[in-house]
Chain A
């Protein structure tokens, strides 16, 4: 079953054509690994497929509806971009409670504490994020993957950045488990990740 369809997508940035006429279909239970050099347009493509950016041409269909028109489906999508989406003056728990409420997730504080403990953040739950390292902040952002149990699509832009090897392994396992259980993942990374589920590699060529 198709979860996400990109139809004839083109993107231009600062008069440079990043990519054109892309037609991609992503099914349920598929790991779509997007690769390419710096500047090839991976992040732009991920932003287009979540509806954060508009393509120059084409449309993105998520769960049968245009992603820009139907916002009701957005709570089934988790996006972890370059920016973490966390306020540095708030604690990990506060940030995640706020995120859960705006995304209509039924998550309790003990649920959040359990996930933070899984991500080795015990004792840091109530510290303002500005006191955590970059890797620890990234882990807080990734906690959304464990907390959103309704999600059917994860869009992850360089999720392994700043993480230690132990957390990278944990995340690889979580992504594999999600895909095996029928979830879809679109991922970019310059790291050689090891997943225990099949993956489809797609290379975005740098266009001059």
Chain B
């Protein structure tokens, strides 16, 4: 347990020492969402209809932007080798790293979402469902994204490859999250979509850490 707490502290310390990298996804998220009302006009009804999709697409793209650095530094400076040469299970170390990344890079996007919901004229009910979908969907994105990052970490130019691998995998999340937000706007039940998102999160949480650890070993081989 002490080892995992140390990994968590290290990740937080590194994130706050590299604040500029930390701010990039948040700024990107804010800018993309601010551009939409300018591009499609201030019509309240149109903005409300597209709001869920806009926030979710912006969230996915912002997350991909910051995802690459998840294992990059550890791979280039040899810290990854030291993780794998410790008796602390690698899947637990990567799980802690992904959680720390979610906490410092993604949680701020979730916390900013009330402001952005206001920009896009979302109702209070729509906002709550958006918050549920973000809280259930963004950890899944982190976990799935980490598999992609660990597979491509040894490649020198993985810039475009990573989104090409990952974006298709996020389609189910995008469909269920926007469907839940649309359902609430039409005053329909949305429990099914939230349930599916929860199931995807639990499934990913069970399997992704082992897949990430294995992919890192393959990348180091």
Contact = CB atoms under 8 A, between A and B. Distances in A.
Interface of A: 50-54, 71-75, 77, 79, 81-90, 94, 97-99, 101-104, 128
Interface residues of B, number: 29
Contacts of A72: 87
Contacts of A101: 2-3, 5-6
Contact of A103 (B5, B9, B86, B220): B86
Interface string B1-37: 0110111011001100110000000000000000000
Interface stretch (B47-55, B60-68, B72-80): B72-80
Nearest to A76: B87
Given A74-B86, A83-B76, A102 B81 contact: no
Contact of A98 (B10, B18, B221): B10
B82 interface: yes
A86 B85 contact: no
A84 B78 contact: yes
6 contacts: A75-B86, A87-B73, A87-B77, A89-B18, A98-B6, A102-B88
A11 to B, nearest CB: 11
B93 interface: yes
Given A52-B84, A53-B220, A79-B81, A102 B17 contact: no
Given A53-B220, A83-B78, A86-B79, A74 B85 contact: yes
B77 A83 contact: yes
A102 B77 contact: no
Contacts of B81: 52, 79, 81, 83, 85
A79 B74 CA distance: 16
Nearest to B89: A71
A85 B74 CA distance: 8
B13 A99 contact: no
Given A53-B221, A101-B2, A90 B10 contact: yes
A137 to B, nearest CB: 10
B119 interface: no
Residues of B contacting A: mostly: helix
Smallest CB-CB A-B distances: 8 pairs? A83-B78, A101-B6, A85-B78, A85-B82, A102-B3, A102-B86, A103-B86, A89-B17
A97 B9 CA distance: 11
B99 interface: no
Interface of B: 2-3, 5-7, 9-10, 13-14, 17-18, 73-74, 76-79, 81-89, 93, 220-221
Contacts of B9: 98
B77 A104 contact: no
A195 to B, nearest CB: 24
A86 B7 CA distance: 13
Given A75-B86, A81-B78, A102-B82, A94 B13 contact: yes
Contacts of B2: 101, 104
Contacts of A79: 81-82, 85
Nearest to A68: B217
Contacts of B220: 52-53
A84 B78 CA distance: 6
Contacts of A84: 77-78
Contacts of B5: 101
Contact of B6 (A71, A75, A77, A102): A102
A46 to B, nearest CB: 11
Given A53-B220, A72-B87, A90-B14, A104 B3 contact: yes
A99 to B, nearest CB: 6
Nearest to B76: A83
Contacts of B85: 50-52, 74, 77, 79, 103
Nearest to A75: B87
B86 A85 contact: no
A111 to B, nearest CB: 16
Nearest to A97: B6
Contacts of A99: 82
